[in-house]
C-alpha cells in the first residue's frame, strides 16, 4: 500500500462529494485515513482548502457526520480535509486513558519512547498529507485551518508555527495554553518529557508571546456552559496575550453553549464564511 491513495468511501452531498481515503504514512509508520469534502467541481474548478482538526477521542469522521458543514461549504465552493487525530494500529503505542494515546495525538512530534516512533502528527499535517493532497488530488490553492478542543490547539499552533501557509485560523473551545492545564501537561510530559522549555513550541499562548510572523486573522468561539472551560480551556489567556501584542484575535463567548458538536454545528457556517473571506484575498 506504500505511496498508494485508496478511495474507500464516497457519497454525493449538496452536489459535491464526501470522500474517505486510506494510505500508508511513512511519517507515522502506519495506515491512516482522512476524510475530504469536495464541492461541485463543475462550478468550482479550483476550490480553496480548509483543514479541520478534531478533538480528543475523535477520528476523521466526527466532523463529517456531526457538524453539518457540507451545505455551506458547497455554497461557498470550499473543500474541507479532515485528518485523523493520531496514528492508528496494533503496532502503535496506546494506553487505556481516553485523553492519551490513540485518538489523542495532540498534533505534535513526540520525542519520548515509545511514542516517538509513530506520534509525529505535526510533520504528517505539515508535510506528508499536504503533498499527498497536492500531488495526488490537485489541491494547490490557498488554505486555512480550524479545529475543536485538542484540534483547536492544533490549529492555533500550526498557524502560528507556519504563518505563510494559512490565510486564517479559527477554533472552537480550544486548549490555548496546554503547558498550564491538566490535559496539556499530561500529554506533554508523556510525549515530550520533563523539560518544560520544550513544551513551549506546542503552546499557542507561548508561541504568541514571542510571535514575529505574519498576523493571521484568528477567530475563537467558546461556549460559557462548557464544563471544561475553567480548568482546561481558559481562552481569556490567549485573548490577553493577543491584546498585549495587538494581534488580530476575535474571541466570542457564546451564551449557553457547551463543548459538544451541537455547539460546532450552530456556528460552523460563520467560521466557513470567515475563512472564505480571507481565502478569496490570497
- Which residue of the set 86, 149, 170, 173 is catalytic? 149
How is 88-133 classified by DSSP, letter by letter? Answer: -STTS---S-TTSBTTB-TTSB--STTGGGT-BHHHIIIIIHHHHH
How is 134-170 classified by DSSP, letter by letter? Answer: HHHH---S-EEEEEETHHHHHHHHHHHH-TTTEEEEE
Helix (H) or strand (E) holding 207: helix 204-209
- Which residue of the set 23, 118, 259, 271 is catalytic? 259
β pairing state of 5-13 and 249-254: unpaired
CB contact at 8 A, 133 and 49? yes
CB contact at 8 A, 273 and 76? yes
User: Under DSSP, is residue 26 helix (H, G, I), strand (E, B) or coil?
Assistant: coil
Whether residue 173 lies in the annotated active site: no
* b/e sequence 113-152, b meaning 16+ C-beta within 10 Å: eebeebbbbbebbbebbbebbeeebebeebbbbbbbbbbb
Which residues are registered as beta bridge partners of 37? 18, 80
Q: Report the length, in residues, of the chain.
A: 282
Which residues are registered as beta bridge partners of 34? 21, 83
Whether residue 11 lies in the annotated active site: no
Whether residue 203 lies in the annotated active site: no
- Which residue of the set 84, 203, 221, 226 is catalytic? 226
* Closest among 203, 209, 143 to 170, alpha carbons compared: 143
Residues belonging to the active site: 149, 226, 259
Amino acid at each position: 500500500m506504500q505511496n498508494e491513495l485508496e478511495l474507500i468511501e464516497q457519497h454525493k452531498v449538496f452536489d459535491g462529494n464526501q470522500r474517505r481515503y486510506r494510505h500508508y504514512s511513512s511519517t507515522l509508520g502506519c495506515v491512516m485515513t482522512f476524510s475530504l469534502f469536495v464541492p461541485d467541481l463543475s462550478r468550482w474548478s479550483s476550490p480553496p482548502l480548509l483543514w479541520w482538526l478534531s478533538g480528543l477521542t475523535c477520528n476523521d469522521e466526527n466532523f463529517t457526520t456531526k457538524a453539518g458543514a457540507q451545505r455551506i461549504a458547497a455554497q461557498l465552493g470550499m473543500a474541507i480535509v479532515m485528518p485523523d487525530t493520531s496514528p492508528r494500529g496494533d503496532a502503535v503505542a496506546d494506553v487505556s486513558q481516553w485523553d492519551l494515546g490513540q485518538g489523542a495525538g495532540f498534533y505534535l512530534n513526540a520525542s519520548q519512547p515509545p511514542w516517538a516512533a509513530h506520534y509525529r502528527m505535526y510533520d504528517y499535517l505539515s508535510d506528508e498529507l499536504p503533498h499527498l493532497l497536492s500531488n495526488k488530488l490537485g489541491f494547490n490553492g490557498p488554505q486555512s485551518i480550524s479545529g475543536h478542543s485538542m484540534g483547536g490547539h492544533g490549529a492555533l499552533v500550526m498557524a502560528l508555527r507556519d504563518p505563510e501557509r494559512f490565510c486564517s485560523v479559527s477554533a472552537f473551545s480550544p486548549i490555548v495554553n496546554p503547558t498550564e492545564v491538566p490535559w496539556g501537561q499530561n500529554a506533554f510530559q508523556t510525549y515530550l518529557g520533563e523539560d518544560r522549555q520544550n513544551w513551549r513550541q506546542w503552546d499557542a499562548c507561548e508561541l504568541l508571546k514571542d510571535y514575529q510572523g505574519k498576523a493571521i486573522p484568528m477567530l475563537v468561539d467558546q461556549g460559557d456552559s462548557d464544563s471544561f472551560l475553567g480548568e482546561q480551556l481558559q481562552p481569556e489567556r490567549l485573548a490577553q496575550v493577543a491584546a498585549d501584542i495587538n494581534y488580530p484575535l476575535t474571541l466570542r463567548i457564546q451564551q449557553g453553549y457547551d463543548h459538544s458538536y451541537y455547539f460546532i454545528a450552530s456556528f460552523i457556517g460563520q467560521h466557513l464564511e470567515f475563512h472564505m473571506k480571507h481565502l478569496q484575498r490570497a
